[in-house]
Each structure stands twice: as structure tokens, then as C-alpha cells.
Amino acid sequence: MKTSIHNITKKGERRNIEFKERLNEDYHLQKDRKQRLASQMKYRMERGNGEAIYFVGVDDDGNLTGLDEKEIEESIFVLKRVAEEINAVILKVEKFPGDNGEIARVFIGKNNGFKRDHMLVGVAGHVDHGKSTLVGTITTGNLDNGSGRTRIFLDLQKHEIERGLSADLSFAIYGFSNDEAMRIKNPLNKKDKAKLVEDCDKLICFVDTVGHEPWLRTTIRGIVGQKLDYGLLTVAADQGPTHITKEHLGIILAMDLPVIVTITKIDMVSVDIIKETKEKVFELLKLVGRIPFMIKSEDDAGFVAQNDNPHLVPIINVSSLTGEGLNLLDELFLNLKIPNKTEDSLKPFMMYIDKIYSVVGVGVVVSGTIRQGKVKSGDKLFLGPDGTGKYMNVRAKSIEMHYCKKDYAEAGDVVGISIKGVGIEDIKRGMILCDHNYEKNSVREFEADVAILVHPTTIKEGYECITHIETISETVAFEPLDKEFMSAGDRGKIRMRFKYRPFNIKESQKVIFREGRSKGIGSITRIIE
């Protein structure tokens, strides 16, 4: 890799390529010097049809001098500040070994309005507690008719419509422009979705999961497999919290997500029943160490949204039939803070694959939520690991976010990427798509610290169950390390082995394992080579 970079730099600075041995914050961000750098960057971008490429850690003669990690990060920070002067952004950062440290290749492009706040909200709750209906009502502004009219915007498969039960993850969007709610006129129209993405400066993407117990694995995939910012739990006023409600709440909390609760169907019951359900929700939240806060006004919604206490849980009474409480949800989502993803965006690109399609006229498309980094159309990427642990060379042909075509996408975006170089039969859910700088591994065994939540008997060596990590859903064999066996309520270290194929996983990632109902949670502590 060092040789290939040297082949580029030895040709010297040209067109849109600029060399910088090192950029110092105290010196290069002084007003006059910053303006000169901005003019230089603008010139390089004009020569490169809107894109400039900076090599950091390279002297004027093209020698790969290299910098240490701190110097590299400071230089990238300076480039970011200079780019802001000409309404440009850092699209991507690649790092390579130099003679005495690292070399960074920094791609800088126009800020074409794509940069916006993008919040992902996972929606969970028991079957028939009004998840899909609520999301359909929020995103369209159309009230329900009492028979699930608005849920049809999310349940698109024939058997889902006929049975009134969601069977797969659905994605729905709405947002805000100049603090005004923007909704989709026709959710079944791809152009309407694309226009909404373009028009909003804050985009809310709902990941609608499945409430039916037999499809728990799909619900877990929706909460664990996406890079969610919040978990929205629905509780029907006429039923109150159920065992599935508790299951879904446990999964949201296991992923360390802030929680929002909506008490739905308040039009169907009396005030006394609503109060009784509210009290049950309060008790449940207090049991898991959360502080319930009932939102009764827009001022309440603004206060909770701006509060930095992650244990505070806003609760809103809503009706998709009458529209009561929907204005409070709007106010909450308008003011909720979105975690800063700038740091993640500057890391090497990586995305766990959630869905695989074959689209006529486009080819193979993989979709998922970008975990880190940025990806541009035309990028050379790697896909894997396959069953043998190897990675395949592919190219990103095009990128779409909610049917809106984009030149690039970054951490936190839910995208579909058309790739060239492999067949649809070569791709499995749980694989990653990444650039060459991302640390590619192929793991069969690892250790994790876990807590056993529910299990009727004991877990001992040889025990097998489905384990979820990101979008991975795979049978894993267990071997308790701290004790001979484990049972409900126990905590300890377990060695796990993927039964059928390797995956790309890292230390500290969350683990949820289940056999029917979820049995335990934990995090990866060590990768076994």
C-alpha cells in the first residue's frame, strides 16, 4: 500500500492534489494564513471538478515523511476548519504507513446540502399496541380510521396487510425544516420520500419493528442491528405493559438507548383506565432504574428533550384516531438532541449488511446503517468475511437514502448501496462492507461478559442458542469459563463460538442471545484468534 501511495505522490502536486507535511492549529488557523489556505483549497477543488485531495505527512517533493497519530489528527482538524470557510466538507480520510509514521489522504468536497441532522428511532412494543399505525400517522399527518388505515404505509407485504401484523422491519421518515414539521404526502411514492430527504434540515427515521412474539429475532435485528439514537416503546392503554413490552424494553436498555414511551389507543378507554396504565408504566420504568416523566404540554416536551439525564423517560398519551398527543411528539422530536457523529464520520468506512436485493437495471444492492466513516459513489470497497473468512473486492456504483440519490453518505445514515463485483448469492446478512483502512478480521471464537436473564434450566458447555451482534444472527455454542454452569440471575464470562461461519466483530460490541425469548445480554471482551 505504501508503494502505491508513493507512486501517486512521486508525480508531484497537480490538478486537485495538494501535499502538506504538517498543519499546525496555532499557526495555520491564524486569520491571514487560514484565508490563504482556503483560497488554495478552492483552487484545487475547481481543478478537481468539486473535489480536492490532500496528502498529509508528505513533503513538497512527494516524500512520505509521516506523522504520529496526534499530528495527523491535528492536521485533519485544520483542514476541516479551512474547508468550512469555502462551504466544503471532509468526505473521507484514508491512512497509510509512511517512512516515520502515518500518511493521511483526505478527500474534500462541496457541502451540497446533504449534511443534516439524521435521527434513528427504533419503535417497539407488543403486537396490536399501535406501533405501525402511530408511525404511519406521525409521518403522513393522516389520522387513522380505527381499522389501521395508516399502518398500510408500513405493511407492504400481502400477508402483512391481510393479517394486520408486521413481519419485517419497515422504515418511515418525516422531519423538520426551519422548525416546521414536514410530512410525506404519499408514503408509497418514492419521489415524495426523496423530496422530503432533500427538504428537511432534521430528518427522523423510524425503524418499525415486529411485535408478534414468534418474530422476536426480527425485532432484535431492528434494535441491535441499526445504529439507533432512541428507542420508542408503545404501550396500548387498553392492555397495559405485557411480557413482550418488558422484553422489548429490556432489549432497548441492553443497547444503552434513551427510551421514549407512548401510551396509545387512549381514545378506546376511560380516563381511569388510562391512569391505571400510566401507573403500571411508571412502576415498570422505576423497576429498571429509569425516571418516568409525563409530558402534558409543549413546554414539558422541550424541557425533557433538552435535559441531559439519560435516565429520564418521557411518556406521552397519544391517539392515532383523534390526533391527541401528536403535537407533543412533534415538539419532542424537534428538540431531541442527536449524538454528535463527526468523530465516527472521520473513521474508516464500515457498514453491517442488513438486507440484500437484486434490482432490475441496477444490480446487487445492500442496505444497512453506516456504523462509521463516509462512502462515495465509485469507492473501491471490501465485502466479507465469506464462509472461508476471506474478503471480496467490490465497488460502490451508487448510493440512495430513502430513494434519494446521493454522492456520498456518512455515519448514522440508512442507505442502500449498489455494488459491483459479486453476485447476490455471495452476500449474507451480517457481513460488512468497508474500505481498505478498516481493520478486517474473521472471527469464529470470542469471550463475553454476560448476564443470564431468563432460563428454565442451566447453561453449560455445549449449550447452543441464537446470538445477535449488530445485524449478525447466528447459532453460537457456549462454554462458561467462571463456573461449570450458569442459570437465571447469574453473571460471568463465557467463551462463544459461531457454529457455521466467521464474522467481523470487535471488543465491546453488545451481545443478545435467545432461545425463543431473549435469555441474556452482555458485551464482547476478547477476540480469540
Q: What pLDDT was estimated at residue 158?
A: 38
**Does pLDDT of 137 surpass 60?**
yes
With CA atoms as reference, report the closest residue to 473 among 442, 454, 506, 500: 500
Per DSSP, helices labelled H in 415-494 are none
Least confident of 48-57, 91-100, 109-118, 364-373: 109-118
Phi and psi for 100 in degrees, rounded to 5?
A: -135, 45
Mean model confidence pLDDT for the chain: 87
pLDDT at 146: 73
Integer Cα distance of 251 and 247 in angstroms:
6
Domains and CATH numbers, the chain: 2-110 (no CATH), 117-335 (3.40.50.300), 343-434 (2.40.30.10), 445-528 (2.40.30.10)
Helix (H, G, I), strand (E, B) or coil at 18: strand
304: left (phi over 0), alpha (psi -120 to 50) or beta: alpha
Sign of CA dihedral 345, 388, 474, 492: negative
Nearest to 107 by CA among 90, 88, 83, 95: 90
Q: What are the pLDDT digits (tens) for 284-304?
A: 999 999 999 999 999 999 899
Residues 6+ apart with CB under 8 A from 240: 276, 277, 280, 281
Per-residue pLDDT averaged across 313-329, rounded?
96
Residue 155 pLDDT: 42
| Maximum pairwise Cα distance, the chain | 79
The whole-number pLDDT of residue 487 equals: 83
18-32, 84-98, 343-357: segment of lowest average pLDDT: 84-98
Q: What is the pLDDT of residue 87?
A: 84
Task: Name the amino acid, one letter, at 378.
Answer: G
How far is it, in rounded angstroms, from Cα 371 to Cα 341? 10
DSSP for 341-384, written as a single string = -HHHHTSPPEEE--EEEEETTTEEEEEEEEEESEEETT-EEEEE
Helix (H, G, I), strand (E, B) or coil at 269: coil
Q: Report cis status (omega within 30 of 0) of the bond before 314.
A: no
Helix (H, G, I), strand (E, B) or coil at 64: strand
The C-alpha atoms of residue 409 and residue 53 are separated, in whole angstroms, by 18
Supply φ then ψ for residue 110, to 5 degrees.
-65, 145
Q: What is the pLDDT of residue 433?
A: 97
Question: Mean per-residue pLDDT for 480-497?
Answer: 89
Work out the pLDDT band at 151, boundaries 50, 70, 90.
Answer: low
Residue 105: which of 60, 75, 70 has the closest Cα? 75
Which strand ranges, in their side-by-side order, compose the sheet holding 17-20? 17-20, 51-56, 102-110, 88-97
Q: Which pairs with CB-CB distance under 8 Å and at least 24 residues apart come from 384-390?
A: 384/431, 384/432, 384/440, 384/442, 384/504, 385/431, 385/440, 385/441, 385/442, 385/501, 385/502, 385/503, 385/504, 386/426, 386/428, 386/431, 386/501, 387/500, 387/501, 387/502, 389/442, 389/502, 390/442
d(CA 25, CA 43): 22
pLDDT of residue 161: 33
Q: How far does Cα 519 stand from its chain's mean position? A: 24
Per-residue pLDDT at 163 exceeds 60: no
d(CA 407, CA 274): 48
Angstrom distance (rounded) from CA 109 to CA 38: 13
- pLDDT tens for 245-259 read 998 898 899 889 999
Are the CB atoms for 114 and 200 separated by under 8 Å?
Answer: no
pLDDT surpassing 70 at residue 166: no
pLDDT of residue 404: 83
Q: In what order do the strands lie in the sheet containing 170-177?
A: 180-182, 170-177, 202-208, 117-125, 230-236, 259-264, 312-317, 291-294
Mean pLDDT of 191-214: 80
- The separation between the first and the last C-alpha atoms of the chain, rounded to the nearest angstrom, is 24
More confident residue, 408 or 151: 408
Across 5-14, 88-97, 111-120, the highest mean pLDDT is recorded for 88-97
pLDDT classification of 3: cutoffs 50, 70, 90: low
**What is the distance between the alpha carbons of residues 257 and 274, in angstroms, rounded to a whole number?**
26
Q: State the pTM of this model.
A: 0.74
Pairwise pLDDT comparison (178 vs 370), residue with the higher score = 370
pLDDT at 381 over 90: yes
Q: How confident is the model at residue 14 (pLDDT cuts 50, 70, 90)?
A: confident
Of 126, 135, 37, 23, give the one whose Cα is nearest residue 88: 37
Supply the pLDDT for residue 109: 87
